[in-house]
Structure 1
């Protein structure tokens, strides 16, 4: 796999919880198509754990190196993984993911994500959408009741880092400002209309209140309440 991932337009890191950092960035799909994406960094002592990796510009890379040493890269979703190889090569980090990804299948994990596997972060756990046709998982940081997702559950409160044409296309695809289950993702991973309903009901059993996905914004305190409402609309 080519590890020379392009550096995208990006903001600066913000600390959304103690030792949990969010970087809002973008991905350019074509000259006129650009949408937002997020990278999360968790600091555990001097170890850094990267979730939903994005290659950094010089300023943000310097900040990352000041935070600590990259030890782990976690891939939660099949749609993502474009920039993972860069981090694996640059930092010789452990690579966590489920097996048998269809997108970027050459990214082979040396640490397998499963529900009974402890993540490389204290007081956390993995959740897996077992009924999904393609790998998709969630990371729960129990201390902050924070769900970290990729494409499954998202919250958007603005269209930052998204081009005008992309807004139109995303709107047609079902993206709206607010809390939602990603429609393109759900369609791709579902074997039938309600095939993931049980998985989402099991996800609701986890103790969480906040959410940050690979796209959109941070939602604090209301994530579980909003998910309940979205599920009733999605799986009628």
Structure 2
């Protein structure tokens, strides 16, 4: 019998925009030589009764039952190379189509059914895909053409304003010291691992959007583009 990553503490399923849902959960991992516990987010997009899971976070049974009332999980999408531990659980449980970018280190036993690429197919309509082209580890952003533009990001764009209930007390001081907590921030561990070049952000700045749902932090609703442009200028002077 397959062993899946266990369900860890998480919050409720929230409908943050019509047919777009958001869940905050927990992750433990080793970074820079020590164990960290912090929050991570899953986004769920519904179209015609089909659910697409992006940045998967395994839910507990009661929440899975609630998920099933929203629609049928049909697609699981991997947009960040540093996430994905819960992808096998959802793919196997629902027989879902698995999407990932070429070159991603997918979990053992998973087969990529559909490849994500700019200008290519996506699991739902009125959406487009942005690919970071200069990075060491594959990373992308899905833009949904609703509400003035909703960016669904993984580690590249973050909005960790403050620590939440899913952090442990040992991790918070370390992350505070390293300046992880910033509105409309860029992922510091992602920057370290992937080493993106300024030209990716020059392209990113051409995409209009109003909101951002990221793999870490709170939903950023309204004026998200302006906020991220300020951050990008601070990091890359573009």
Q: So what's the TM-score if we normalise by structure 2?
A: 0.91
Match of 2:171 in 1: 166
- How far apart in 1 are the matches of 2:77 and 2:56? 8
- How far apart in 2 are the matches of 1:214 and 1:19? 18
Is 1:53 the equivalent of 2:56?
A: yes
Match of 1:15 in 2: 15
- How far apart in 2 are the matches of 1:9 and 1:116? 37
Consecutive unaligned residues in structure 1, runs of 5 or more: none
SS at structure 1 position matched to 2:4: coil
CA deviation after TM superposition for structure 1 residue 221, in Å: 1.2
SS at structure 1 position matched to 2:64: helix
Report 1:177-216 matches (<5 A): 177-190=182-195, 195-216=196-217
- How far apart in 2 are the matches of 1:91 and 1:22? 19
- How far apart in 2 are the matches of 1:108 and 1:13? 28
Is 1:124 the equivalent of 2:124?
A: no
- How far apart in 1 are the matches of 2:80 and 2:37? 20
- How far apart in 2 are the matches of 1:105 and 1:222? 39
Match of 1:152 in 2: 156
Match of 2:111 in 1: 108
Alpha carbons of structure 1 residues 115 and 175: separation in structure 2 relative to 1, 3 Å: same
SS at structure 2 position matched to 1:73: strand
Whether the 8 Å contact between 1:5 and 1:83 is mirrored in structure 2 is yes
Consecutive unaligned residues in structure 2, runs of 5 or more: none
CA deviation after TM superposition for structure 1 residue 2, in Å: 5.4
- How far apart in 1 are the matches of 2:106 and 2:89? 16
SS at structure 1 position matched to 2:67: helix
Aligned residues: 232
Whether the 8 Å contact between 1:173 and 1:184 is mirrored in structure 2 is no
CA deviation after TM superposition for structure 1 residue 34, in Å: 1.8
Whether the 8 Å contact between 1:179 and 1:227 is mirrored in structure 2 is yes
CA deviation after TM superposition for structure 1 residue 45, in Å: 1.1
Whether the 8 Å contact between 1:49 and 1:72 is mirrored in structure 2 is yes
